[in-house]
Amino acid sequence: MSSAVACPNHREFARPPRPPSNKRGRIAIAMIGLGSLFTLAGIGYLIYAEIARSRLGDLVYEVSPVEREGWVTAPLPAVGPSDFPTSSDSSQDPESDGSKSGSVISEPLEAAQLFPARWTNPRYWSEPEWAGSLPYGRADLPDGFVYLNSAEIIRDPVVSSAADTLEVPAINLRTSVYGLAVYDEGGKQLWESPVDIVGHIPGTAHPGEIGAGWYFGHLESPVRGEGNVFHDLPDIVELIKHDPVDIIIGSADGEFLYRVTETGFIHRDDLVLDQTSASTVTLVASYPKLVYDHRILVTGELLAFRPPG
């Protein structure tokens, strides 16, 4: 008698049920969270952009004609009776022997006598004790520069070399200047974007020439990585309220000093490279930060020249 071993029927064994999968639910929650995060970031950016645009008016400032005239005609400060006691105010007897006691000031000096306004730089009027020797409202020209007569420049215009360097000592800026190339896009002329330097717009005035020279640079360039040569350009708005700010542009002909006369802004779609009958330069950068739909403008007028060498 033979025996047979029965093979188990696989159909008789039931697999344990799988737990319900939460993978799709987790993905859905993650997508919702990510979408909410982007939405909040977008709302935050829009709020920041509106606040930044609302402050564009702070960029507008123009140096007064009186102060500009004082850059070349400012009189030397003079001591008068209202400033310090003079010999005529002394109670010393003309017949006295000139002893030291006769010249002693019997009354204490007032603040206006110790710190006369005509001798004190305006930025220190509220705290005159910190004024030091900083000159009143004007800056001497750097060594080697001589004042230029604007009437002679207009009467005898010159053709100058292209700019090589640009310097703004007040914000510790010194950089090279590159003539930007122009290209055509859809029938519209555009110029290339400067990288880590300042770009001169072709067709605008060279240093020392009659007309407006336009110079572009980046305030910052987080996406393209093209530098931030004009990062501190907005600081000039406050600086010129206290002291002159100079823009020095160098070329093969020498160095030309332009003194900042005004600052402002304009929407990028409204920017026009205006010309002028004077010799001026305008520095331009995209503004505000992270928005870049406007342009900050810093304009200076030719004041002095230093020959090469």
DSSP letter string, 141-198: PPTT-EE--HHHHHHS----PPEEEEEEGGGTEEEEEEE--EEEETTEEEEPPPSSSE
pLDDT score for 89 = 46
In a domain, 239, yes or no: yes
Q: What is the pLDDT of residue 136?
A: 47
Would residue 126 count as lying in a domain?
A: no
27 in any annotated domain:
no
CATH at residue 241: 2.40.260.10
Q: What is the DSSP letter of 66?
A: H
Rounded-to-integer distance, Cα 126 and Cα 120, Å: 10
What SS3 state is found at 208?
A: coil
In a domain, 81, yes or no: no
R_g of the chain computed on alpha carbons: 35
Residue 230 lies in a domain: yes
Q: Contact at 8 Å (CB) between 297 and 229?
A: no
pLDDT average per 10 residues of sequence, the chain (309 residues): 56 62 73 78 80 89 88 52 44 49 52 52 58 54 88 76 96 96 80 92 93 94 84 96 94 95 95 90 94 94 92
State which residues form the domain around 300.
Answer: 53-61+144-306
- Res 229: pLDDT: 95
What are the residue ranges of helices labelled H in the chain?
23-54, 65-73, 111-114, 150-155, 236-239
Number of structural domains (the chain) is 1
pLDDT at 129: 58
